[in-house]
Structure 1
Amino acid sequence: MQSFFTEHLTQQRAMSPRTVATYRDAFVLFLDFAVMHLHKQPTTMRLQDITPTLILAFLDHLERDRGNAVRTRNARLAALRAFLKFAGHRDVDALHVVEQALGVPMKRFERPMLGFLSREEMLAIIGKPGPSWTSQRDHLL
C-alpha cells in the first residue's frame, strides 16, 4: 500500500496532493471498517480479504451510518478501485479476487435539475444599461 501512495499516485500518475489525501482518507475509513468486520489488523490483511461483500458493506456503512452522499460513496469506491487495479498488477495470484472486487458498481444518482432566474432576478444582476454603446449591447445580450 505504501508504494501505491508514494510511487504510483504521486510519481506515475502525478495526482495532486489533495487527491492523494482524499484517497488516503478513503483507505483510513475502509481499513477501520475492515478491522471491525474481519477482526484482523491491517498488517495481516490480504487482497483475498477484500471481497465484494466487504466493499458493499463498507459503502452501505458510509451512506447509512456516516451520512455520506452518493457522490462521496462513489469517490471512496474509486479510491478502492484504483488500489485494486494497482495491486492486481503487482500480485497476479490475486487477480481473480481483484476482478471480483472491481465488479462492485458505482451507485447511480440523480443530477439536480438546473433552475433559471426569474425576470426580477435577471434585472437585478444585469441592472439598467448605461449610455454607452457597449453597455447597451451587454444589456441586450
Structure 2
Amino acid sequence: MKNLSPALPNILEGFFIERLMNQKRVSKETILSYRDTFRLLLQYAKRELGKTPSKLSFEDLDAPFICKFLNHLEEERHNTARTRNHRLAAIRSFFHYASFQEPQLSAHIQRVLAIPTKRYQKREIDFLTADEVDAILDAIDRSSWIGRRNYALISLAIHTGLRVSELINLCCSDVVLGGGVYVHCTGKGRKDRSMPLGKTVSKIIDNWLDERDSKPSAPLFPTRHGNKLSRDTVAYTLRKYVPWLNSIVHLFQESV
C-alpha cells in the first residue's frame, strides 16, 4: 500500500468543509464536537507515533490504533462509555466519507467502521418535585441582574425541559407573548419546535424581557457583556443553586 500522508489532511479538511458544513449543514455544536474528537486523536497519534498531523497516513489510523485511542479516552481521560461512543461515531463518520474518496482503502476503512460501540448502563432520569423546584428558585438572590437572569433561565429550563444548547441559543424574539404564550427553539437535528409556557413562567420571562429591553436578535440569557452564555457557565450556575444536580440530569442529555 502506498503512503498516503499527503491525502489524510486533505480528506480531513474535505470532511469538515464539504461533508459536514456544506452537504449536511450540521449544527455548530456538532462541528465543535467533531473538531474536539480529531484534536484528541491527532494529539494521541503525536504522543504514541511521534508524527505530526501532516505526517500521518491512513495506515497509521488503523483499527487497532483507534481501539487504543478509545481505551485512552476511558482509562486516562476518564471519559464515560457514552462519551467514548460519541467520539467513535465522529471517527466512523469520517472514515465513511473517506471510503468514497479513497476506494482503494476499502478493506482498511471497513475494519475501522466495524469497531463496535460500547454498552453501558443508562442512568435513570429523575425529575424534580414541586418542593424541590420551589427550593431551587427560592435560593436564587434576585437583588442583582445576574440573579434575575439566573432565576429566569432556571425557571424556563425547569418548566420546558429545554436542552442546554437550546437554552443558550435562544434570542429575545424566540419568546412569543400574547394569546398563545410559547418559546420557539431550534433543537437537535435542526428541528424547530415550540414549547408552551404556563402563567407563572410566562410572567417571569415577561419581566426579564422588560429588563433586557434589547434587540430581538440579542441572546435571551446573555453574559454581563451581552454575549451568549456557554455551557460551562450554565453548568456552574446549576451547581451553584442545585446541590443535588443529578435530579435535573435531563437538562444535560445532549447527543452529538
CA 50–112 in structure 1, closer or farther in 2 if over 3 Å, else same: same
Q: Using the alignment, how far apart are the partners of 1:116 and 1:32 within structure 2?
A: 39
Question: What is the TM-score when the length of structure 2 is the normalising length?
Answer: 0.45
Map Cα deviations across residues 34-82 of structure 1 (whole Å, 9 max, x no partner): 1222222211211122111111111111111111111111111111100
Asked whether the 8 Å contact 1:48–1:94 carries over to 2, the reply is no
1:99 counterpart (95, 102, 110): 110
Which has the larger share of strand? 2
Match of 2:101 among 80, 84, 90: 90
Q: Which amino acid aligns with 1:46?
A: S
The one-letter code matched in structure 1 to 2:81 is V
**Which fold has the larger relative contact order, with Cα–Cα distance below 8 Å and residues 6 or more apart in sequence?**
1
Uncovered stretches (5+) of structure 2, i.e. residues with no partner: 1-11, 133-256
Paired residue for 1:15? 26
- Normalising by structure 1, we get a TM-score of 0.79
Gap change, CA 1:108 and 1:46, over 3 Å in 2: same
Q: What is the rounded CA distance, in whole Å, between the counterparts of 1:75 and 1:28 in structure 2? A: 14
**Secondary structure of the residue that 1:66 maps to in structure 2?**
coil
Matched, 1:64 2:64: no
- How big is the shift at 1:2? 0.8
Amino acid at match of 1:49: D
Aligned residues: 123
Give me the whole-angstrom Cα distance separating, in 2, the residues matched to 1:31 and 1:14.
Answer: 24
Structure 1 segments unaligned to the other structure (5+ residues): 126-141
Equivalent position SS for 1:19: helix
Greater mean alpha carbon deviation, residues 75-84 or residues 105-114: 105-114
Q: Deviation above 6 Å: which 4+ runs of structure 1?
A: none
Distance in 2 (CA, whole Å) between partners of 1:33 and 1:116 is: 39
Matched residue, 1:38: 49
Residue in 2 that maps onto 1:135: none
CA distance in 2, matches of 1:15, 1:115: 30
Q: Distance in 1 between matches of 2:14 and 2:73?
A: 26
Find 2:36's aligned residue among 17, 25, 28.
Answer: 25
